[in-house]
Chains A and B, each alone.
Chain A
Amino acid sequence: MDLKSNIPEGAISEKWTNHKFNMKLVNPANKRKYTVIVVGTGLAGSSAAASLSELGYNVNAFCFHESPRRAHSIAAQGGINAAKNYCNDGDSVHRLFYDTVKGGDFRSREANVHRLSEISVNIIDQCVAQGVPFARDYGGLLDNRSFGGAQVSRTFYAKGQTGQQLLIGAYQAMMKEVNKGGVTLFTSREMMELVIVDGKAKGIIVRNLRTGKIERHSADAVILATGGYGNAFYLSTNAMACNVTAAWRAHKKGAYFANPCYTQIHPTCIPVHGDHQSKLTLMSESLRNDGRVWVPKKKGDTRDPKDIPENERDYYLERKYPSFGNLVPRDLASRNAKYACDEGKGVGPTGLAVYLDFAAAIERLGENTIRARYGNLFEMYERITGSDPYTSPMSIYPAIHYTMGGLWVDYNLESNIPGLFVLGEANFSDHGANRLGASALMQGLADGYFVIPYTIGNFLADETPGACNADQSEFKEAEQEVINRVNTLLSINGKRTADDFHRELGMLLWDKCGMSRNAEGLKEALEKIPKIREEFWKNLKVPGDSDNLNSSLEKAGRVADFLEFGELMVRDALHREESCGGHFREESQTEEGEALRQDDKFCYVGAWEHKGENKPQELHKEKLEYSAIDLAQRSYK
């Protein structure tokens, strides 16, 4: 199948405007005849559900949490970018667009990124109208701060809880529509299967996690806003329940999975403390505004950081990248931390950490200013580690944080399955091979508030409303598949828990397909993953039953999908013989050890098609063309 990106004609700055006019509309009186399923209620899902209901569509919104407000968008700390240029520092739609394409290492779709930059300003207006309490200055105007990969201050924030405030805003907008009857909310439901009728996405099968009941739901279109797959690595900054299941089920029903090897490793997380660690905690990138990253110059230096004099410290980011310093993009900051530790200069009990030091900032600005800026983050750090960052530098290390890859979508955010739309982190579209800080919130809300309300109408205008119902054979067959899978998981009765398999897979992926990758390691992982999967289906132990709350059973289903997905991620990483953004292939680097792209061979989106159980996927390519920006090797020096 050809990959049609459906990018509109015209100059880059006019594409979206023209496209909005050219798309078909659904008459207001007809909108109420259509039903749209939205899976996931994070920023993208909640904002889409609220906006579509406001337009008059019937929306059925599903989430696996007990309340839509629990989605992991809530944990985003630092902020949301918008090209408002309120700081008069030279920002513009074009600069945000340029920074995002460059930050993504020229592997994102130019037209999508420009649209995102245009919409960014509307998002801030919308959120303020909803009552999102952004930080303000004493004149009552909105305040901004800077983030990695940019030389302007365009990040809007609400202390270290920006994601929480934006999600609660979108959640409240959706609950307003629940109250009016336009949105019907289905909580504690996990999507287990996508239903396709005559080649189009027409419904889903869900499991009620409280009662175990398997339910069939039909609609005129299906939207997935189900987040990223970072938990494939077991330890990540994602919430415990984040998973790839909804996206993977859609993939196995025909949706292409794009660029799965593009995973983001966040440079500032609290290091691993021991074997029973369940997750990693992020410390906001905003800390790099005032914190200085360093390691001892001497290998294996175990002195207390306070006893290491200035001239025996290596502030390696400031040394190597003088113009961006500690504010280089995430991939560079992470990789350089790894290099320092690989050289034996890492600190802390495991040697897998570097310092993030606020002493200079405290001396310059005073402890009170630092407390006002980062107080809640410092408290969180102290609570977790028992160490006080006001008096001793933080120890940090990179961790898996975000996934740029996702289901392939065209310009309209529609997958290659007609009627299946994918929003937010779950799609691949806007961040290329590396996402800049404060851009995930921007994309989730752009997709939900300002893109899907237009593009879904263009699809629905040609559909007969209510053409399918959940009693059709396609739904019953999909339901039976789900019941069989649940029963199989419960009946294996082996010796190892799902967590145990997950940990094994995660360590393998982190080791071979993490911050730095090479062909030999990736091939080794490709051999090992099917073996872990084979053992999973023979030796898994799931306690309890299927007719009530059973989180072990939920976990087992998610791990089963990670075990299939992980293999595709490795296959994608092996095929992409270049370094770009978060994907660093050791075979492709500059003399200085920086990522080296191979534009003549790999300037495309790699979209994989499922070809059957235990068969290798087939690669399809969408060539990336840049008309508004010249392809260049990234430099932050």
Chain B
Amino acid sequence: MSDKINLTLNVWRQKSPKSAGKFEEYEVKDVDVNSSFLEMIDVLNEDLTKKGQDPIEFDHDCREGICGTCGAMVNGRPHGPLKNTTLCQLHMREFKNNETITLEPFRSTSLPIVKDLVVDRSAFDNIIKSGGFISAKTGSGQDANSILIPKPDADDAFNSAQCIGCSACVAACPNASAMLFVAAKVNHLAKLPQGQAERKSRVKNMVLAMDKSGFGNCSNAYECEAACPKGISVANIAAMNKDFMKAGIFS
């Protein structure tokens, strides 16, 4: 039937952070084109398990494109060929019969491989910890409507706040820079009146934490924006740089 396809998968297998990895080839038959990419791997894994082989480890959870857990390089592109789409939302109708698909983890020294396609993104939590918040203690909020926020500013803040922390931006960047991730958070909070008090310390601390984690610099390749499943704009990076300069000069 035309709604089933056969595929060859070339998958990066690596048992532990320190062991050597290599590509392994798998034939996958009769894939339902309406199934998602991760469901296709589920079927392969069920098969491998029954044959007594180790299934492929991959990160995933909500399978609705919002938790940011999933992600891998599909034929060299983070989350695969579809724009604004996480790996879990990629469906097999995007692939042709008898196609070969290469599957690798997001690669960067700051996001070390845990196993197979799973990477350690704790560096992202460390960056948020360093300043990605507004210090508003529980109970301290005034009436919500006493803070007026013009709609365009609220919309801008929301657009930056959509980041799901998946790290595709780092994987796409030739320098493994985390600038888009950091800038999205900096701008989300800098756009809002509530975020002004800590604006300077926030950008300085977050950029410092990013550098300490060993992420590279931005060289304007714009690959991050192209890979971002939430369509976060590189304009965030320019805005953050401006804030960072100001914070450095006037503080």
Please pick, from B15, B59, B67, B138, the residue contacting A50 in the complex, using a CB distance under 8 A.
B138
Please pick, from B69, B91, B138, the residue contacting A70 in the complex, using a CB distance under 8 A.
B69
Return the chain A residue nearest B133 by Cβ. Answer: A172
Given A122-B141, A548-B115, are A175 and B49 also a contact pair (CB < 8 Å)? no
Please pick, from A66, A133, A164, A171, the residue contacting B120 in the complex, using a CB distance under 8 A.
A66
Q: Mark A45-58, 1 if CB is under 8 A from B, else 0.
A: 00100110010000
Return the chain B residue nearest A171 by Cβ. Answer: B128
Q: Is the CB of B50 within 8 A of A497?
A: yes
B212, chain A: closest CB distance, angstroms: 14
Q: Is the CB of A135 within 8 A of B154?
A: yes
Q: Is the CB of A54 within 8 A of B137?
A: yes
A142 to B144 alpha-carbon distance, docked (Å): 8
Q: Is the CB of B154 within 8 A of A133?
A: yes
B65, chain A: closest CB distance, angstroms: 7
Segment at the interface with A among B5-13, B96-104, B145-153, B213-221: B145-153
Q: Is the CB of A131 within 8 A of B144?
A: no
Return the chain B residue nearest A498 by Cβ. Answer: B49
Q: Specify which of B46, B91, B144 lies most central, judged by the most chain A CB atoms within 10 Å of its CB.
A: B144
Q: Specify which of B59, B142, B158, B195 lies most central, judged by the most chain A CB atoms within 10 Å of its CB.
A: B158
Return the chain A residue nearest B85 by Cβ. Answer: A383
Segment at the interface with B among A199-207, A269-277, A580-588: A269-277
Q: Mark B49-79, 1 if CB is under 8 A from A, else 0.
A: 1101111010111111111110000000000
B42, chain A: closest CB distance, angstroms: 6
Q: Is the CB of A126 within 8 A of B138?
A: yes
B26, chain A: closest CB distance, angstroms: 15
Q: Is the CB of B124 within 8 A of A67?
A: yes
Q: Is the CB of B136 within 8 A of A130?
A: yes
Total interface residues in chain A, CB < 8 Å: 84
Given A70-B61, A129-B136, A449-B138, are A386 and B145 also a contact pair (CB < 8 Å)? no
Q: Is the CB of A67 within 8 A of B154?
A: no
A129, chain B: closest CB distance, angstroms: 4
A106, chain B: closest CB distance, angstroms: 31
A449 to B53 alpha-carbon distance, docked (Å): 46
Interfacial chain B residues near A135, Cβ < 8 Å: 154, 158
Q: Is the CB of B125 within 8 A of A67?
A: yes
Interfacial chain B residues near A86, Cβ < 8 Å: 145
Q: Is the CB of A66 within 8 A of B161?
A: no
Given A125-B141, A543-B53, are A274 and B150 also a contact pair (CB < 8 Å)? no
B74, chain A: closest CB distance, angstroms: 15
A42, chain B: closest CB distance, angstroms: 11
25 contacts between A and B (CB under 8 A): A66-B122, A70-B61, A72-B67, A75-B66, A84-B145, A124-B144, A130-B141, A131-B194, A133-B161, A136-B154, A142-B144, A164-B66, A164-B164, A168-B161, A172-B132, A176-B133, A178-B129, A179-B130, A239-B63, A278-B42, A282-B64, A380-B64, A499-B46, A548-B115, A549-B114
Residues of B within 8 A of A (CB): 15-16, 32, 34-36, 38-39, 42-43, 46, 48-50, 52-55, 57, 59-69, 82, 84-85, 89, 91, 93, 114-115, 118, 120-122, 124-125, 128-145, 147-151, 154, 157-158, 161-162, 164-165, 188-189, 192, 194-195
